[in-house]
Amino acid sequence: MNTRKEWVLENSINYITPNYYTREETILSVQENFNLRRYGSAEGYSVDIDGIEERVLIQFHTNPLNEKKEDKKIHVPMDSVLKRGSCVNWYSEDWFVISKIDIVGDAYKSAQMYRSNSVLKWYNESLVLKQYNCIILDSFTYTNFDFSKTIIVDSGNIVVLVQVKEDTSKIKKNTKFLFGSQAFKLTAINNFTNEGMLTLFFDKVAEGSDDDTENNVADVPDVVTEIDGVKIQPINNGVLENSSKIFNVYKYISGTVQSDTFTFNFSGLDASEYSFTVEDGNNFTITNLGGFNYIPIKVNCVNDITLVDTEMFIKMLGQY
């Protein structure tokens, strides 16, 4: 860069060069500050992004009116695998990147992610139960859906965001799903405007006699193909504040329940936040004493015969 000397005093020329930074030096400085924050500040977290562990920055809302909203800003280094549609597992919960990826000064990448707040469950053509974490939004406001707000339920419309997978890509219009024990029919599928995510549009419909409202699965077939292995019921959607829920754990082989029993070990939260009771070798009860918490309870279900350890995570929810 050439400096026009007639614009400045002659004796000040020597002070211009030291205050000038090249673009590369500026980017390096921003990256150094970014790395200090993600490794040394309270905003730095180790997360799993699409199966790869990374150190990132996660920022909460600073406005008290928005602090309970379930979207966060995530900032990652330039070589991160993060992309629109990525799944970020943070404190054993799935968050999905629904925005485009912004490049901040060629120093790091930034995006918006939403917390999964429901599970999309259905039986495929082979009568195998499929389930994927998803995000339910109110179709009018595109904000997090809340079944406790009857004004939204009465509108009869919701929008669901789910990752593009081989199974989800085969979902067809007019398929019925259950959310919060309420039935909804899939009316439209948008698979072209939000790369990596499917946008599913639903209308509220009446429940049917074949719907399993306890486990939120619609149109349960008479014959179900069980996947071999350990099955935990109910499929975990958390325990509400000041409530209890019974979980049962069984081993299946070719769809037939086995007599195997399990030893249950609980960890993750402080003991003051919850209580548990082991009913027998296949059943236990969790009581939520502390209300909502981002950190779930980790339950290790160790088969007493094979000693195979199956992990599950139980969320501690609020009042809804």
Among 145, 173, 205, residue at a domain's last position? 205
Q: Which residue's structure tokens are 């599970």?
A: 119
Kindly report, residue by residue over 146-172, the tens digit of the pLDDT: 444 433 344 468 899 999 999 999 999
Among 97, 115, 133, residue at a domain's last position? 115
Among 115, 146, 168, residue at a domain's last position? 115
Count, residues in the chain: 320
CA separation for the pair 156, 37 (Å, rounded): 44
Residue 2 has pLDDT above 70, yes or no: no
6 inside domain: no
CA separation for the pair 179, 160 (Å, rounded): 10
Same domain, 111 and 33: yes
Question: What is residue 149's predicted lDDT score, i.e. its pLDDT?
Answer: 40
User: Quick one: three-class SS letters along 182-226?
Assistant: EEEEEEEEECCCCCCEEEEEEEEECCCCCCECCCCECCCCCCCEC
Burial class (CB in 10 A: 0-12, 13-18, 19+), 205: middle
197 inside domain: yes
Smallest Cα–Cα separation from 231: which of 131, 93, 86? Answer: 131
Question: What is residue 235's predicted lDDT score, i.e. its pLDDT?
Answer: 62
Domain count, the chain: 3
- Quote the mean pLDDT of the chain: 83
Same domain, 181 and 238: no
What percent of the chain has pLDDT above 90?
47
**Exposure on the CB side of residue 26, measured as CA atoms within 13 A:** 8
Range of the domain at 169: 119-205
DSSP label at residue 101: P
87 inside domain: yes
10 inside domain: no
What is the domain-level CATH number for residue 45? 2.40.10.210
CA separation for the pair 40, 227 (Å, rounded): 44
103 inside domain: yes
75 inside domain: yes
**How far apart, in Å, do the first and last CA atoms of the chain sit?**
61
CA separation for the pair 250, 317 (Å, rounded): 25
The count of other CB atoms within 10 Å of the CB of residue 176 is 19
Q: Which residue's structure tokens are 């997090």?
A: 144
Q: Distance between alpha carbon 251 and the CA centroid of its chain, in Å?
A: 27
Same domain, 123 and 110: no
Kindly report, residue by residue over 174-215, the tens digit of the pLDDT: 999 999 888 999 999 998 888 899 999 999 999 888 888 888
Q: Give the lowest-confidence range in 6-15, 69-78, 114-123, 269-278.
A: 6-15
Same domain, 277 and 303: yes
Question: What is residue 84's predicted lDDT score, i.e. its pLDDT?
Answer: 93
User: What amino acid is encoded at 218 in this protein?
Assistant: A
* Model pTM score: 0.61
The token duo for 160 is 């669901």
Same domain, 86 and 164: no
Q: Give the lowest-confidence range in 10-14, 64-68, 226-230.
A: 10-14
What is the domain-level CATH number for residue 269? 2.60.40.10
Kindly report, residue by residue over 63-117, the tens digit of the pLDDT: 766 666 778 999 999 999 999 999 999 988 999 999 999 999 889 999 999 999 9
